Amino acid sequence: MSERIGILGGTFDPIHLGHLAMAQEASRALDLNRIILLPSHVPPHRSTDPRASGFHRFAMAAMAAAEGHRLTASDLELLREGPSYSSLTLERLHADGLEPSQLYFILGTDAFSEIATWHNYPRLLDLSNFVVISRPGCSVTKLEARASTTGTDIFYVIGDTPDISSTQIRRRIAAGEPIDGLVPRSVASHIERHRLYVPASVAAAL
C-alpha cells in the first residue's frame, strides 16, 4: 500500500496548537503515514508580509513537528522565490515521485471557502486529495461532485479544533499577555528567547 502523506501549509506566524489539531484530526480520519508542515515564503492570500522571518517560522514549525506524532517540517516553499502557490508545491512533490492520490492537502473550512480564488483552480483539485477540517465559526461548504482524472477526492472531516489564530497570539505577545496553551512549549520558548512579535520600542528597552 502506498504511503499516504498529509500536507499542512501556512504562514505559521507563529504555528500554534490549532494547526497541530488540524493535522491530528486529518491523520486520525484518514490514517496518514506522515504530515509535512510547510511554512510559506510569500503567502498569496495575505496582504502583509509575515512578521517573523522565514528562518524563525521554519524553526518553530520544526520544533512543533518534534513534539507531534508523524510530523515533519519542510522548507520547500521557503526556498522558492515568489508567491507560495500550493499548485507549484504539489507539482514539485509530483516531480519527486509522489502521486496525486498519495497526497492529502489539509486546510480549514475558512480557507476552503475561498478555494475558487486560488492559483490554478480548478486543476488544483486534481493535484492532491483535499482534507477539509471543520473550524470554529465556519461551517463546511461542499463543492459539487466532480470527476477527477488523477484519483483524488475531497474529504470533509468534522473535528474538534481549538479557536486559535496567529493574529490573536501576536496581539497577546504585543500586549505582554501570556500565550500558555496556545502554542507548543518549545515554540513559546523560541518566541520569548528571540523576542518575536514584541513591539520594537519594547524590545529595545529589554
Beta bridge partners of 131: 106, 155
Domains of the chain, each with CATH number or no CATH: 5-161 (3.40.50.620)
pLDDT score of 107 more than 50: yes
This model's pTM is above 0.85: yes
Going by pLDDT thresholds of 50, 70 and 90, the confidence category of residue 205 is: very low
Contact (Cβ atoms closer than 8 angstroms) between residue 143 and residue 149? no
Q: What pLDDT digit, counting tens, does each position of 108-153 carry?
A: 998 998 999 999 999 999 999 999 998 766 666 677 667 788 889 9
Q: What pLDDT digit, counting tens, does each position of 168-189 carry?
A: 999 999 999 999 999 999 999 9
Task: Summarize the confidence of residues 20-29 as an average pLDDT.
Answer: 95
Contact (Cβ atoms closer than 8 angstroms) between residue 152 and residue 20? no
Going by pLDDT thresholds of 50, 70 and 90, the confidence category of residue 72 is: very high
- The predicted pLDDT at position 193 comes to 97
Interatomic CA distance for residues 192 and 27, integer angstroms: 30
Phi then psi for residue 194, to 5 deg, are: -100, 5
